[in-house]
Chains A and B, each alone.
Chain A
Amino acid sequence: MVGEPTNLRPIQILVHYWELRPQALAQKLDELIRHGIQHLATFVPWQAVESDIAHTLPRFLQAARDRRLTVSLILTPELGVHYPYSGLPKDIFSQSENLALHEGGGNVPVLLPPIGFALPSLSAPEVGKRYHNFLARIDSLLADLGRNQPKLLEGVTAVLGGGFWKYYRDPARVGERAFTGVAGDFSNSSQLSFRQRVDQQFSSREFQDPSPTAAQRWKSRALEGVNRRWFAHQNEEVFRMRSSQSIRKKALGLQVHQAEIFTPEADPSLAMSRFLQVTGGARADFKRLSALVVEASSRASCAAGSAAEPFIHWTKLGPYRSLSAAERQFLIFQSLLLCGSRGGGVLIDEAEWFSLSPAFRARADGLARQMAQGNFKLPTAAYYLVPHLWSEASDPGHEMARRLGPSLRYASSIERVASDTDASLVVVDPNWILNRDSIQRLLSLARSGKVVALPRSPLFTDAARRELAQGLVDGPALDIPMGVSCSCISIGAGQLVLFDVPEGGSEVHAEKVRTLVTGLLGLAQIHPDATVSDGRLRVVSLKRKHGGLGVFLLNATQRRISGDLYFTGEVTISDLALVIRSEGAGMKKQAGDGASSRPAARFGLEVPPLGILPINVEGLGTDSEERRLAALSGQMNESNVLEAAASELPGFSESGSGMEAVWN
């Protein structure tokens, strides 16, 4: 089972309702219906709502309802909207205190038409006030519509994204990875709020243990980076929560959906490269855009503990447009594979979608349909817990991402990790503040059958140390060297690993990190289902609902690549597209029909430039799956037995000592 919900619409077609004149609106919707579109998504620019004297939004919703089209209204401020300042009111930008500052102290530029601008700070009081006024206005508008025409809102979903927080990064800190440095808003209003929140957070009893002066350690300059990450995460959570509360004050029946919408073209890591492109008349950097899709889709956002599905938004405005048709198709398919199989998908402008070849659209539609039916899921093998999703993770995280590819996800919520029963390994970043509550949750994760790895960092509170010692009291600790000193303790159905944070010179450090990650993956018995001999190829293995795998080999280069595909055991492979087609036609697969290969553990394959090779894999062992299910079932049995014993046997306590006392 994969812990994420199925998304019914992995490809969402964007319509800019504010650009459609009343006469053209009906015509456009009819045209989309003729193309088989049943659901539309649209941004709702603040500015368009504030000056909507022609009531274009209600008219659009009415016209969609008349045609039985369902609509997603994206209400949070997002980038890449075809409206000046991405729909934000212009006057916000006239005051410098409303603008966000990145870690390096500069503004965060967005070089996208119709107007390039510096990102506003969502922490600025003026921006916050205007935003919540906008939400209140939308809430009233939708409530009125719902009151007058109750049926109108049945097909409408309000979508709340994560806003601009993920873009608050220094454009000059571009390296091998897109998300480097500490992300977050460093504007004056945010700094003020940061200091207040730090004081508030560390004034709690846990951080003043053993004496009130202990709190000073947590507020020290040495922990500034750690606290910044924590604060940035908190800001994002509060933003999501308040948005969610504002939108359902009056429009009670409105469905609200949480998503994480990412527009790669607007990412600040591309700003410098974009500057060089626009001044030189060159085309966009395809490789960077592709890498951003991979990075963004590996982040598991959440809102109040529940998943916020990842969506990649491709506009017709920015560098994406200058790419060749093959490159654009590659990016869309890649986004669909990585986000659609995780409950999200792709947001794409309707004109852009229909400019793609019919053959490509049919292929993408076919895959999206399979995803919507839950036939393809990308299971997460391991989570790397980071204090802030959009800031740089420590080296063990990077090494795990390199080894596991899309099977690794970054998360900043333990609840989010707990809701996913697929993952068998959880590694905590050394920058994570470990308090009593987080230790309790992590121990509970370990008891449920996962391997939980905690760094021996100085970021444990005293209460957390006590909680940890208490939780591990019964288990013998086994010291295993994994590049660094590690202690492994069996706890419930799982294991807890305490590791020293790797240190040393760059080469020594890298070796230690590699050995540590190898050890942890081995302990959690994580072996990628499929690997390739050529590092330029990327593998995405999707689990099929009725068994088997859908393996996609992605070649993001302009050259044909030949390589070997390895599996952990002998399997048969066949063309996935043919298999899906025959399954769709209700044909049963006959033995020896010639479509499948002979069983083998290694296959030589050739992937065309910018090609994506879909392969159906059958016969892969289900050992790890069975082991996990057995652990889960064992855990349930144990708790049932203890519960029954507690009610039947007087004096019985669920702790081990209690049990011994009863029987001795």
Chain B
Amino acid sequence: MELTFDWVGFQEVFQPRRAPVAPTLNRHSPIRIIVEGQVVREVFCEGDDLSGWIGQSLEQLQAGVRGREFVVLDREAVDQAISRAFEVGHFHQQLDLLRGASLKQAPEIRLHGPEHFWVEALKGNWSKILPSSYALFFRFEGATAGQERDFIVVVRRGELAAFHRPDLSFLSAERKKNPADLVKYLSDKYLVPVQGFFLSEALWNQVSTSDRPWRDLAQAVRKNEVRLHPWRWSVAALLGVRGLKNS
């Protein structure tokens, strides 16, 4: 069965595992707290064990942990944000709502790291430039032949409408290898224009974890390490411009 939202596949492609933060490097991370009245209900800071403060007063915590930035959220508002998030379609939208609620409560909050550069672009300005509905098809080639991994993201009005490993079982082995045939088949199946990206798994991982992903991606397109099918000048130009901005 083809899942509409294949979260495992999505995580593999767009959420590469990152290295843990060492406690000593974490001094500047804000301490995030959920309070009920003035009582600390939850406290979290990556790499620090602050669970001993749960149940204490916020004042005590702030006095006990000096020299750190605090982001304080209200429990009732958190509960409401979670309840509202459950009303929308899938986890990705739910996360957006939760992040939005955090920002509303604590505008000083810094949302760092969770979004992949590509997903951020799809949900951001690209929706103003690209058609209202389209799909991006990724083929990640492994070290040896036959180790390809495919993934498709369907975008409608700037929202991720579906993401999963496409079912290509109706295609012959020959057609599966032919980028033009693949893209045409997917375009007919999903009834949206499809842009294919063919690149190696290693390159994708490198770009995904890079500090300047757009620049690296644009360079890879120029070197033909990332192949676009069909070749669309508009898409290549978009990547180039993002690459320039990012360098």
Contact = CB atoms under 8 A, between A and B. Distances in A.
Given A56-B1, A106-B79, A285-B44, A116 B34 contact: no
A598 interface: no
A83 B1 CA distance: 11
B95 A278 contact: yes
A518 interface: no
Interface stretch (A315-323, A430-438, A566-574, A641-649): A315-323
B164 to A, nearest CB: 9
A316 B79 CA distance: 25
Interface in A102-143: 106-107, 109, 111-118
Nearest to A288: B51
Contact of B99 (A24, A48, A111, A279): A279
A280 B81 CA distance: 15
A45 B11 CA distance: 22
A278 B94 CA distance: 10
B19 to A, nearest CB: 7
A275 interface: yes
Contact of B44 (A22, A109, A114, A282): A282
A48 to B, nearest CB: 8
Contact of A273 (B23, B29, B42): B42
A164 to B, nearest CB: 16
A275 B34 contact: yes
A316 B11 contact: yes
Contact of A558 (B18, B23, B82): B23
Nearest to B5: A114
B82 A321 contact: no
Interface in A245-301: 271-273, 275-283, 285, 287-288
A175 B101 CA distance: 25
Interface string A175-213: 110000000000000000000000000000000000000
A480 interface: no
A172 B40 CA distance: 10
Given A21-B169, A56-B1, A116-B91, A279 B109 contact: yes
A287 B41 contact: no
Contacts of B20: 283, 323-324, 327
Interface string B30-47: 101010100001101110
B51 A280 contact: no
A116 B85 contact: yes
Contacts, number: 140
B221 interface: no
B124 interface: no
A19 B1 contact: yes
A174 B41 contact: yes
A18 interface: yes
Given A174-B41, A322-B17, A114 B7 contact: yes
A321 B17 contact: yes
Nearest to A114: B7
A100 to B, nearest CB: 13
Interface stretch (B111-119, B190-198, B224-232): B111-119
A48 B21 CA distance: 40
Given A281-B111, A283-B21, A109 B90 contact: no
A409 interface: no
A116 B109 CA distance: 23
Interface in B45-104: 45-46, 49, 51, 54-55, 73, 75, 78-79, 81-83, 85-86, 89-91, 94-95, 98-99, 101-102
B167 interface: yes
B143 interface: no
Nearest to B99: A279
B145 interface: no
B25 interface: no
A23 interface: yes
A174 B54 contact: yes
B11 A116 contact: no
B109 A114 contact: no
B3 interface: yes
Interface string B113-154: 111000000000000000000000000000000000000000
A374 interface: no
A330 to B, nearest CB: 13
A351 B83 CA distance: 32
A272 B78 contact: yes
A275 B1 contact: no
B32 A276 contact: yes
Given A111-B82, A287-B51, A276 B42 contact: yes
Nearest to B114: A281
B169 A115 contact: no
A82 B7 contact: yes
Given A118-B83, A322-B17, A280 B111 contact: yes
B98 A278 contact: yes
Given A272-B34, A272-B41, A272-B78, A82 B46 contact: no
A21 B169 CA distance: 8
Contacts of A106: 79
Given A281-B112, A317-B7, A116 B86 contact: yes
20 contacts: A54-B1, A84-B5, A93-B86, A113-B7, A114-B6, A114-B90, A115-B91, A116-B91, A174-B41, A176-B51, A271-B82, A272-B34, A279-B102, A280-B114, A281-B111, A282-B21, A282-B29, A282-B45, A317-B8, A558-B22
Interface of A: 18-19, 21-24, 48, 54, 56, 82-84, 93, 106-107, 109, 111-118, 172, 174-176, 271-273, 275-283, 285, 287-288, 316-317, 321-324, 327, 351, 558
**Chain A to chain B: the 6 pairs with minimum beta-carbon distance, closest first:** A281-B113, A281-B114, A272-B42, A113-B7, A282-B46, A113-B91
Given A117-B86, A281-B111, A282-B29, 6 more contacts: A114-B91, A115-B89, A174-B42, A279-B99, A287-B49, A316-B8
